[in-house]
């Protein structure tokens, strides 16, 4: 999959052409995309170098992680080597992290952002890497807090990461869990408090369901260049666009179109991702869809996208296509599946629950020596 995306990326044309080929709408292309695409193409040709970073004492920087994948999407949990993160709440810590260099246009990276770069750039990571910095919760009602990170900065929400954190909290012994039954892991994230319901059988975690912050439908049928989009805020804002067919061959075009749509919508919404979805035959328990989610600056989610699934649930519930006694079968581009359901409605927002599986893939100790000429790494 990533091979197709890399090989075809440079030849991808603009949003209107891509939309026409994918059958997602008509009309004029989104304005202003060519310059941004050209800048990205130039950056991709030369690569983006990280900054030289060392520990606070000027010596070797060492960071320890436990890695999981949730339905194919990686999640790297930093367990040791993290500097103190200022702020009284998780949301404050994210704001401070962004102000200290957590965006491509920010100032010189802080020590925290040096770690983010180290873990999401080659040769220790890759452009599709995702992870979380463990931080204190907002109060004693939650067991932990987390700052979600990716190659472009810090996100407000991450459903697949919440599922992985629920599994890790039980696996590590942070939260006690029965051999058979379930354990609740309450996690403070930048968008609010979420709960991971860790289901167990015979001493093994069989699945994790996360109950998200309330999800609100923001707009319907928004014309964005060549397509119509529905927008929902599920802790992060997503635009949903229907496409008749999603295949690996279309990934470079969807990536380019997702970037262009995000650029158009950022003026009105803090848009995080674009969900290109395709209808599948209904199951006995409810509707089924396949999706490709393009998030941040053109990354493809390998999972069905947890918070994106919450957005889809809210939109389907508002349409009357999903009731509280039904489930959405939500399939990713690699064929992995989340199931989602609506728990109810409160104050004009939808309460959702998304279930998936997470598996540990490794434990790591990453180091950055003070004489490493690549610094925190590079992006191609």
Catalytic residues: 158
For 50, left (φ over 0), alpha (ψ -120 to 50), or beta? Answer: beta
Q: Which residues make beta-bridge pairs with 122?
A: 378
Copy the structure tokens of residue 33. 């995309």
Q: Please, are residues 33 and 260 in contact by the beta-carbon 8 Å criterion?
A: yes
What is 184-209 written as a DSSP string? EEEEEETTEEEEEEEEEETTEEEEEE
For 108, left (φ over 0), alpha (ψ -120 to 50), or beta? Answer: beta
DSSP code of 106?
S
Q: Please, are residues 156 and 189 in contact by the beta-carbon 8 Å criterion?
A: yes
Residue 260 C-beta-side C-alpha neighbours within 13 Å: 29
**Contacts (Cβ under 8 Å, ≥6 apart) of 160:** 70, 71, 73, 75, 130, 301, 303, 305, 306, 356, 358
Q: Please, are residues 274 and 241 in contact by the beta-carbon 8 Å criterion?
A: yes
End-to-end CA distance of the chain: 16
Copy the structure tokens of residue 265. 């919508």
The gap from C-alpha 83 to its chain's centroid, in whole angstroms, comes to 23
SS3 280: strand
Residue 231, H or E segment: strand 227-233
C-alpha angle 137-187-111 in degrees, rounded to nearest 5: 55
């Amino acid at each position: 999959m990533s091979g197709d995306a890399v090989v075809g990326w440079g030849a991808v044309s603009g949003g209107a052409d891509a939309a026409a080929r994918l059958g997602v709408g008509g009309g004029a292309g989104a304005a202003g995309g060519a310059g941004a695409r050209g800048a990205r193409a130039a950056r991709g040709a030369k690569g983006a170098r990280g900054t030289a970073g060392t520990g606070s004492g000027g010596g070797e920087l060492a960071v320890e992680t436990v890695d999981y994948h949730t339905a194919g999407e990686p999640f790297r949990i930093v367990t040791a080597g993290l500097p103190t993160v200022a702020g009284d709440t998780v949301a404050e810590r994210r704001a401070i992290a962004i102000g200290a260099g957590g965006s491509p246009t920010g100032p010189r990276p802080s020590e925290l952002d040096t770690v983010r770069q180290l873990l999401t750039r080659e040769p220790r990571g890759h452009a599709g890497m995702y992870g979380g910095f463990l931080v204190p919760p907002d109060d004693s009602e939650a067991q932990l807090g987390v700052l979600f990170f990716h190659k472009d900065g810090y996100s407000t929400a991450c459903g697949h990461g919440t599922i992985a954190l629920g599994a890790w909290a039980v696996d590590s012994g942070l939260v006690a869990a029965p051999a058979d039954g379930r354990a609740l892991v309450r996690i403070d994230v930048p968008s609010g408090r979420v709960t991971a319901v860790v289901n167990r059988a015979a001493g093994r975690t069989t699945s994790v369901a996360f109950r998200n912050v309330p999800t609100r439908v923001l707009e319907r049928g928004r014309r964005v260049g060549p397509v119509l989009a529905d927008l929902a805020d599920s802790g992060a804002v997503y635009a949903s666009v229907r496409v008749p067919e999603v295949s690996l061959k279309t990934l470079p075009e969807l990536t380019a179109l997702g970037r262009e749509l995000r650029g158009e919508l950022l003026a009105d919404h803090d848009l995080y991702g674009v969900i290109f979805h395709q209808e599948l035959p209904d199951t006995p328990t409810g509707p089924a869809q396949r999706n490709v989610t393009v998030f941040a600056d053109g990354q493809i989610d390998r999972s069905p996208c947890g918070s994106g699934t919450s957005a889809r649930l809210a939109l389907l519930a508002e349409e009357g296509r999903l009731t509280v006694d039904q489930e959405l079968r939500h399939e990713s581009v690699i064929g992995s599946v989340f199931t989602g359901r609506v728990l109810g409605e409160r104050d004009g927002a939808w309460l959702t629950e998304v279930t998936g599986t997470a598996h540990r893939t490794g434990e790591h100790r990453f180091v950055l020596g003070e004489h490493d000429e690549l610094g925190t790494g590079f992006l191609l």
